[in-house]
Amino acid sequence: MSKRNTQQRRHGIAAFIAQQGEASVDALAQHFSTSEVTIRKDLATLEKSGLLLRRYGGAVAMPSEIVAVDETEEYISERKLAIAKAAAARIRDHNRLIFDSGSTTACLIPLLNDKQGLIVMTNSLNVANALNELENEPTLLMTGGTWDPHSEAFQGQVAESVLRSYDFDQLFIGADGIDIERGTTTFNELMGLSRVMAEVSREVVVMVESSKVGRRIPNLELPWDSINTLITDDGLDLEAKKQIELCGVQVICAPVEKN
């Protein structure tokens, strides 16, 4: 099936669940004339985009108070690039790094070609492949573990054990949302590995767009006392910035270059 048809089906699924409130995998497979395996992959992608919440056997509509802001892909990419540039400026030669899975952290990788002697651990195949293409050839480490199709990354006790065998200078990690009072939040219920990543890193750097600040998602991933630095774009509300800084977190608002 073409990419265009896949996108059309996913838009249809999101609209169907928004209208019905919830739907089972079986019902969606019948309605869209495709397999349950395909529907599960679609639901995983739509949840990562903040368009619905997966539940056992299906999915439910996203509560209205945390629906993502409708933004153009062009502006999103500009914001992510600005955040990535600010993050890259914090990385020194020979640093030992962890990159969590996610589209914002992935934007950082092409900016690392001028860094020498990097050692990078990741649980993401996409991140690993991107790192492997860099000309400066950083030393690449994989966590291994159990593959989680939901997060498209390795998770579980094996991955946690591997991480605890090392120590790192910095962790770069994204988030589905930022609860100003609590910390980073996520749609994913598998949060153990993120917390271990933070435990074994001297500096924890969260990379997230300003539109996600204030999104209250039930699952707390990293509390503020586990985070050193938040890098976001210049769209962050000044009052929100002050509240986060009161939690002991350095907040960097990267300027967005609009073409």
Domain map (residue ranges) of the chain: 3-62, 73-254
Give the tokens for residue 217: 């998602």
Strand partners for 212: none
* pLDDT tens digit sequence for 22-80: 899 999 999 999 999 899 888 888 877 778 888 778 888 876 544 444 444 444 478 88
What is the CATH T-level fold of the domain 73-254, as seen in this structure? Rossmann fold (3.40.50)
- pLDDT attached to residue 93: 96
Q: Tokens 């529907």 sit at which residue?
A: 39
Q: Which option is the CATH number for 3-62: 1.10.10.10, 2.60.120.10, 1.20.1250.20, 3.60.20.40?
A: 1.10.10.10
Confidence of residue 189 (pLDDT cuts 50, 70, 90): low
If DSSP states are collapsed to H, E and C, what string results for 191-237?
A: CHHHHHHHHCEEEEEEECCHHHECCCCCEEEEEHHHCCEEEEECCCC
- pLDDT attached to residue 216: 72
Q: Tokens 């065998």 sit at which residue?
A: 165
Q: Tokens 């991933």 sit at which residue?
A: 221
* pLDDT tens digit sequence for 83-142: 999 999 999 999 999 999 888 888 899 899 899 999 999 999 888 988 988 888 899 999
- The two domains 3-62 and 73-254 share their CATH topology (first three levels equal): no
* pLDDT tens digit sequence for 138-170: 999 999 999 887 777 898 999 999 999 999 999
The count of residues in the chain is 259
* Exposure class string for 69-90: b at 16+ Cβ within 10 A, else e: eeeeeeebebbbbbbbbbbbee
* pLDDT tens digit sequence for 197-254: 999 999 999 999 998 998 878 788 999 999 999 999 999 999 999 999 999 999 999 9
